[in-house]
Amino acid sequence: MDRKDKLRRIIATDCGSTTTKAILIEFIDGEYRQTVRGEAPTTVEKPLNDVTNGVINAVTELQELARLKYFDNSITFVKDKVLNITDGDEGIDAYVSTSSAGGGLQMMVTGVVAKMTGESAERAALGAGAIVMDLIASNDKRANHEKIERIRNLRPDMILMAGGVDGGTTKHVAEMAELVGAANPKPRLGSSYKLPVIYAGNNVARDIITETLESKTDLIITDNLRPTLERENLGPARDKIHDLFMEHVMAQAPGYNKLMTWTKGPINGEMKNIPIMPTPAAVGNIMQTIAKRHNIEVLGVDIGGATTDVFSVFTKDYIFNRTVSANLGLSYSISNVLATAGLDNILRWVPFHINESDLRNMIKNKMIRPTTIPQQLEELVLEQAIAKEALKYAFIQHKEFAVGLKGQQKQREISEAFSQSTSGNTIVNMMTLDLLVGSGGVLSHAPRRNQGAMMMIDAFLPEGVTRLAIDSIFMMPQLGVLAEISEKAAAEVFEKDCLIYLGSCIAPVGKIKPDKIALSAEIKLPNGETFKEDIMFGELRLIPLGVGETASAILKPGKGLDIGAGKNQEMETKLHGGVVGLILDTRGRKPFILPTEANIRVPLLKKWMKVLDAYPENILK
């Protein structure tokens, strides 16, 4: 192999909005392994205001740890404040990176009828990862001059305009364009460029829209996102939003342009620049790879400081969907989780009393100092309670958006289109889901893996039999971009070092009375023992079953319940273990209800947390 083709040491970083994470991947004994990791706060703050400082700090940590590991002080990953990509043995052969340090995407959307094209536009924007600052519609009851004032004052990153079905009346979309034109809005990040406006409305109004907005805005025209009343076609608008997000928002992150010149690696024997990949796109890459390699349905979540991304691959056609909940995260956006979920919903997961004011202040302090870590156990429990709600709401948003085939149009009944009560059927089916993967600091860095399992089960409520895994050190983004230069390296590291299987969750679905048997399980464990129990409703059981181990099981759901084979149907299956084991969960699905009264709920939470060994005994007394 030519020297230039060799990839012996690769550094991959992920510049998150809070932390920059670096991993070292090395070719050892004929295979690629992830060996060392380092991290440092992302440096978009003044006075540094340059994302590359955080990269250098994280890589410097890698360098120091690698020197310690190999007792070799000649190892030099950083030279003259730049990554040391060199032919020599002391440096690295390639550097790749993902980034999400640009912060959120703030959009304004317009439509004609708020509940129809307005809602579709909002769905497209939200699905593309935006915070929708306002929906302005012809029928939203505000006077036109108020709408103009509002548009002018918002300063969004971009505007998505929808309205009208193809071939329909143009008057209302034309009027909306006039209002936008009159407001002459400026982009949030600097006035050096025109505000991008995406028009995805009535196709016969395109000329009018162009005439009205072309000179004032950076106008992009795409397919109507609601070509007919009963059909929604969000793909083209979402793609355009995504393109513009890369061009306009992420590129504004300080130092980003410099970082782009650093990422290099050999492709076909030549050193080439490797584009920085947006973090969610890289995670999506890896998720699809897993689904296709193992022929399974996968749901993945990446909960970060500012945003929570949910990815899914469902149906036999491996339909991939991704949503970004731009306002749900555990540091910058933690306060928004409180605003979205409400205090009661967070407190329902907390097994002790806490003063409301203290909790509010704790959340705000985390918001203003986003890189701090819970040192006290109580704060950890609270952060994990907040995480459950953030995950829950991100998943709700995902289910609403993951509808139908990507790139194909979704058929909706005309009656449904008028009632607008639902947004079509989701393709997310928790019963058929095979694997649930969690990543992001709060899941990956949870002190106990059992906490990761608990958060994922409580937030996603998996049904039937579902395997659970955690991205051990939040490596999926880096592996997603690594695949761009070496699929082999990415796949090998993924299989060996990235996913940590937690085990499986077994949960019967359906309504049942509390004093009835919800699940009769007979599980033959590899050590020769058999677990056999008729488990009542409202219980949790944890059965140890190690990584790589399987157990054959006969699962019989309680009367009226379904464990995956149909209502009341017994199922014989093979269960996969993991670092946590098998979790039998009869607390109910569809519905899952936590008692509202604290005197009933708290003892239940404590009981479940004890069974799961989620926290030290002293906090569950």
Partner 1 sequence: MAQAYSPGLTVTDSIILKKDRILPLRGTVKVKKGAKVKAENVVAETLLPGKVVPFNLAHKLGVPPELVMQYVKVKAGQNIKKGDLLAETKGIFGMFKAAAKSPIDGEIENISAHTGQMLLREPRIPVQVKAFIDGLVVDVIEEEGVIIENKSAYIQGIFGLGGETIGEIKIIAKSPEEIITPEQVDSSCEGKLIVSGAMISLAIINKAKEMGVKGIITGGIDDHDIKKLLGYNIGVAITGHEKIGLTILVTEGFGKIKMANKTYDLLKQFDGKRASMHGKTQIRAGVMRPEIIIPIEFDESELKVEEAKMATLEIGTTVRIIRQPNFGKLATITALPEELTQVESETWVRIMDAQLDETGKKVTLPRANVEVIED
Residues 509-568 that bind partner 1 (CB under 8 A): none
Half-sphere exposure of 404 (CA within 13 A, CB side): 13
For partner 1, which is the closer residue by CB, 435 or 446?
446
**CA angle 410-412-417, nearest 5°?**
130
Contact 200, 225 (CB under 8 A): yes
Please list every residue from 12 through 51 that binds partner 1, using CB under 8 A: 17, 40-41, 43-49
3-class SS letters over 302-361: EECCCCEEEEEEECCCCEEEEEEECCCCCCCCHHHHHHHHCHHHHHCCCCCCCCHHHHHH
Q: How many residues bind partner 1 (CB under 8 A)?
A: 76
Q: Which of 269, 447, 548, 603 binds partner 1 (CB under 8 A)?
A: 447
Least Cβ distance, residue 253 to partner 1 (angstroms): 5
For partner 1, which is the closer residue by CB, 4 or 445?
445
For partner 1, which is the closer residue by CB, 150 or 272?
150
- Which residue type occupies 99? S
Least Cβ distance, residue 235 to partner 1 (angstroms): 28
Least Cβ distance, residue 28 to partner 1 (angstroms): 23
For partner 1, which is the closer residue by CB, 46 or 621?
46
Least Cβ distance, residue 376 to partner 1 (angstroms): 5
Least Cβ distance, residue 312 to partner 1 (angstroms): 26
Q: Is 113 left (phi over 0), alpha (psi -120 to 50) or beta?
A: beta
Please list every residue from 343 through 402 that binds partner 1, using CB under 8 A: 356-358, 360-365, 367-377, 379-380
Please list every residue from 416 through 445 that binds partner 1, using CB under 8 A: 445
Q: Which of 24, 107, 124, 131 binds partner 1 (CB under 8 A)?
A: 131
Least Cβ distance, residue 163 to partner 1 (angstroms): 13
For partner 1, which is the closer residue by CB, 45 or 230?
45
- From residue 488, how far is each of 2, 146, 527 by CA, in Å? 17, 57, 35
Q: Could you give the CA distance from residue 239 to residue 384 in angstroms, rounded to a whole number?
A: 33
Residue 470 in tokens: 């955690």
Contact 462, 469 (CB under 8 A): no
Least Cβ distance, residue 148 to partner 1 (angstroms): 5
Q: Which of 245, 332, 395, 460 binds partner 1 (CB under 8 A)?
A: 332
Least Cβ distance, residue 449 to partner 1 (angstroms): 11
Please list every residue from 162 through 201 that binds partner 1, using CB under 8 A: 170-171, 174-175, 178-179, 181-184, 186, 189, 191
- From residue 248, how far is each of 70, 100, 256, 353 by CA, in Å? 43, 13, 12, 46
For partner 1, which is the closer residue by CB, 218 or 549?
218
3-class SS letters over 31-82: EEEEEEEEEEECCCCCCCCCHHHHHHHHHHHHHHHHHHHHCCCCCCCEECCE
Least Cβ distance, residue 475 to partner 1 (angstroms): 17
Q: Is 157 left (phi over 0), alpha (psi -120 to 50) or beta?
A: alpha
For partner 1, which is the closer residue by CB, 102 or 577?
102
Chain-centroid distance of CA 106 in Å reads: 18
- Which residue type occupies 31? E
Q: Could you give the CA distance from residue 377 to residue 358 in angstroms, rounded to a whole number?
A: 15
Q: Which of 448, 516, 601, 610 binds partner 1 (CB under 8 A)?
A: 448
Least Cβ distance, residue 397 to partner 1 (angstroms): 16
- Which residue type occupies 286? I
Bridge partners for 158 per DSSP: 107
For partner 1, which is the closer residue by CB, 222 or 327?
327
Least Cβ distance, residue 536 to partner 1 (angstroms): 31
Phi and psi dihedrals of 88, rounded to 5?
A: -70, 170
For partner 1, which is the closer residue by CB, 168 or 508?
168
Q: Could you give the CA distance from residue 85 to residue 9 in angstroms, rounded to a whole number?
A: 10
Least Cβ distance, residue 481 to partner 1 (angstroms): 20
Q: Could you give the CA distance from residue 350 to residue 384 in angstroms, rounded to a whole number?
A: 9
Please list every residue from 91 through 120 that binds partner 1, using CB under 8 A: 101-104
Q: Could you give the CA distance from residue 485 to residue 483 in angstroms, rounded to a whole number?
A: 5
Secondary structure (3-state) at 147: helix
- From residue 235, how far is each of 232, 398, 509, 619 by CA, in Å? 9, 15, 33, 48
Least Cβ distance, residue 380 to partner 1 (angstroms): 4
For partner 1, which is the closer residue by CB, 179 or 542?
179
Q: Which of 53, 202, 323, 325 binds partner 1 (CB under 8 A)?
A: 53
* Per-residue contact string for residues 296-315; x = within reach of partner 1 by CB under 8 A: ----------x---------
For partner 1, which is the closer residue by CB, 375 or 599?
375
Binding segment for partner 1 (CB under 8 A), chosen from 328-336, 489-497, 527-535, 542-550, is: 328-336
Q: Could you give the CA distance from residue 81 to residue 91 in angstroms, rounded to a whole number?
A: 13
Please list every residue from 239 through 258 that binds partner 1, using CB under 8 A: 252-254
Contact 283, 480 (CB under 8 A): yes
For partner 1, which is the closer residue by CB, 255 or 265?
255
Our finding on whether 5 is near partner 1 (CB under 8 A) is no
For partner 1, which is the closer residue by CB, 120 or 336?
336
- Which residue type occupies 465? V
Find the helix packing angle between 377-401 and 334-341, rounded to 10°: 70
For the purposes of burial, counting CB atoms within 10 Å of the CB of 60, is it exposed (0-12), middle (13-18) or buried (19 or more)? Answer: middle
Whole-number CA gyration radius for the chain:
26
Q: Could you give the CA distance from residue 98 to residue 285 in angstroms, rounded to a whole number?
A: 12
For partner 1, which is the closer residue by CB, 198 or 367?
367
Q: Which of 204, 208, 246, 602 binds partner 1 (CB under 8 A)?
A: 208
Least Cβ distance, residue 372 to partner 1 (angstroms): 4
Least Cβ distance, residue 310 to partner 1 (angstroms): 20
Least Cβ distance, residue 324 to partner 1 (angstroms): 15
Return the biggest CA–CA distance within the chain. Answer: 77
Binding segment for partner 1 (CB under 8 A), chosen from 333-341, 496-504, 512-520, 566-574, is: 333-341
